[in-house]
């Protein structure tokens, strides 16, 4: 099944948008609905509807691969669960910010936006994640939003590494997947060093026992990457090596997930840029176009 899923992933990858496609969409030469996977996205949709439909495509693609490969579903589902953690952060910001209408990622294998939006405190959010098996420790005693969000990011890293651990793949593939997951986590966590300071992040990471991430993070914690740079790094440092070294093995699925995720993010950025009336160049400059 692993090989079959990899072959399907190659098929799905061939449908991912290329640079010229992004340029055509950003330049207004082509509508997003002209691409078969995005035929549901109408020009008449509001921005939030378009973004939601774009993420649905990403979730559908990765869910398909997860359903095809039970041996790899822990990893693929863990990768998708990132959206549950992101939604949890969105709900916490909503609670801190006074309950404004929030836009959630359209994903809810465990909790889902409707249940999440009814939760009223950090403890409730963490409790829901704990019930769903996404976190294994009691709620950290954090008082600030930044502390809560960092705790969620750390919990996601642990969840992802558990997903790698739970996948039934060859030892070689597992090592590659673990390395990729650690790199991804270190890139994601390094962004906290700007807000909280590199030492505080390193301390938090070592505090939850993510020693592998800690080692990688030491090298990159002082870097100050923008969101786009972090995305580009994800493509060049994680997805590309996996794709090149393991074209017919499980790690390719991880690479595909990153490409699909980046496509969703890129489209979100392009659609937002177009909505704001930015030029085609400005709308594209924040994208991490890997293909």
Partner 1 sequence: MRALASWLAFLPPSRGTLQMLRRRLELAKRGLTILQMRREMLARELVLLLSELRRRREAEEAFARALQRAAELRASRGEIEFRSMASLARPPRIELVAVSYQGVPVRQARVTGEPDLSAVHDPEFREVAEELWRALAGMIEVANVEEAAAEVGKQLVSINQVANSLERSVIPSLEDAVKRVEEWVANRELEDFVRARRLRGG
Structure tokens at 204: 């938090």
CA separation for the pair 89, 152 (Å, rounded): 8
Q: Interface with partner 1 includes 200 (CB under 8 A)?
A: no
Q: How far is the CB of 70 from partner 1 (least distance, A)?
A: 31
CA separation for the pair 206, 32 (Å, rounded): 44
What is the three-class DSSP state of 80?
Answer: helix
Q: Interface with partner 1 includes 288 (CB under 8 A)?
A: no
Q: How many chain residues interact with partner 1 (CB under 8 A)?
A: 39
Q: How far is the CB of 243 from partner 1 (least distance, A)?
A: 24
Q: How far is the CB of 269 from partner 1 (least distance, A)?
A: 5
CA separation for the pair 281, 27 (Å, rounded): 8
Q: Interface with partner 1 includes 53 (CB under 8 A)?
A: no
Q: How far is the CB of 212 from partner 1 (least distance, A)?
A: 26
What is the three-class DSSP state of 109?
Answer: coil
CA separation for the pair 252, 3 (Å, rounded): 10
Sign of CA dihedral 177, 261, 225, 221: negative
Q: Could you tell me if 181 and 160 are in contact, meaning their C-beta atoms sit under 8 angstroms apart? A: yes
Which of 144, 170, 211, 236: binder of partner 1 (CB under 8 A)? 144
CA separation for the pair 284, 19 (Å, rounded): 10
Which of 104, 107, 126, 259: binder of partner 1 (CB under 8 A)? 104
Q: Could you tell me if 42 and 209 are in contact, meaning their C-beta atoms sit under 8 angstroms apart? A: no
CA separation for the pair 26, 32 (Å, rounded): 10
Q: Could you tell me if 210 and 185 are in contact, meaning their C-beta atoms sit under 8 angstroms apart? A: yes
Q: Which stretch, 179-187, 189-197, 199-207, 211-219, contacts partner 1 (CB under 8 A)?
A: 189-197
Which of 16, 40, 64, 102: binder of partner 1 (CB under 8 A)? 102
Which of 1, 3, 7, 96: binder of partner 1 (CB under 8 A)? 96
In 10 A of CB 103, how many CB atoms? 12
Q: Which of the residues 206 through 265 are near partner 1 (CB under 8 A)?
A: 226-228, 265
Which of 98, 114, 141, 143: binder of partner 1 (CB under 8 A)? 98
Which of 10, 56, 89, 223: binder of partner 1 (CB under 8 A)? 89
Q: Interface with partner 1 includes 23 (CB under 8 A)?
A: no
- Residue the block writes with tokens 């649905």: 56
Q: Interface with partner 1 includes 276 (CB under 8 A)?
A: yes
CA separation for the pair 119, 193 (Å, rounded): 29
Q: Interface with partner 1 includes 203 (CB under 8 A)?
A: no
Q: Which stretch, 32-40, 144-152, 171-179, 207-215, contacts partner 1 (CB under 8 A)?
A: 144-152
- Residue the block writes with tokens 């399907």: 8
Which of 90, 200, 208, 291: binder of partner 1 (CB under 8 A)? 90
CA nearest 136: which of 161, 108, 155, 122? 155
Q: Interface with partner 1 includes 146 (CB under 8 A)?
A: yes
Q: Which residues would be at the binding site for partner 1 (CB under 8 A)? A: 47-48, 51, 86, 89-90, 93-94, 96-98, 100, 102-105, 144-146, 149, 194-196, 226-228, 265, 268-269, 271-273, 275-278, 282-283, 286
């Amino acid at each position: 099944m692993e090989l079959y899923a990899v072959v399907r992933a190659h098929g799905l990858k061939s449908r991912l948008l290329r640079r010229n496609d992004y340029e055509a969409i950003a330049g207004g030469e082509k509508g997003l609905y002209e691409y078969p996977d995005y035929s549901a996205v109408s020009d008449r949709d509001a921005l939030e509807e378009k973004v939601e439909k774009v993420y649905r495509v990403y979730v559908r693609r990765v869910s398909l691969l997860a359903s095809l490969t039970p041996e790899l579903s822990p990893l693929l589902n863990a990768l998708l669960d990132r959206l549950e953690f992101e939604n949890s952060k969105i709900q916490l910001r909503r609670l801190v910010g006074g309950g404004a209408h929030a836009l959630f990622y359209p994903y809810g294998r465990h909790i889902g936006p409707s249940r999440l939006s009814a939760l009223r405190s950090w403890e409730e959010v963490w409790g829901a994640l704990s019930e769903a098996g996404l976190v294994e420790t009691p709620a950290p005693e954090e008082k600030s939003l930044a502390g809560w969000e960092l705790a969620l990011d750390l919990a996601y890293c642990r969840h992802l590494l558990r997903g790698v651990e739970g996948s039934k793949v060859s030892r070689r593939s597992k090592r590659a997947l673990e390395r990729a997951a650690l790199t991804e986590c270190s890139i994601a966590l390094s962004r906290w060093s700007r807000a909280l300071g590199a030492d505080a992040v390193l301390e938090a990471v070592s505090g939850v026992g993510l020693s592998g991430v800690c080692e990688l993070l030491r090298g990159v914690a002082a870097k100050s990457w923008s969101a786009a740079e972090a995305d580009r790094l994800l493509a060049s440092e994680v997805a590309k090596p996996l794709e090149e070294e393991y074209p017919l093995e499980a790690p390719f699925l991880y690479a595909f997930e990153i490409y699909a995720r980046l496509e969703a993010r890129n489209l979100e950025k392009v659609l937002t840029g177009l909505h704001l009336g930015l030029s085609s160049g400005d709308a594209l400059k924040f994208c991490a176009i890997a293909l």
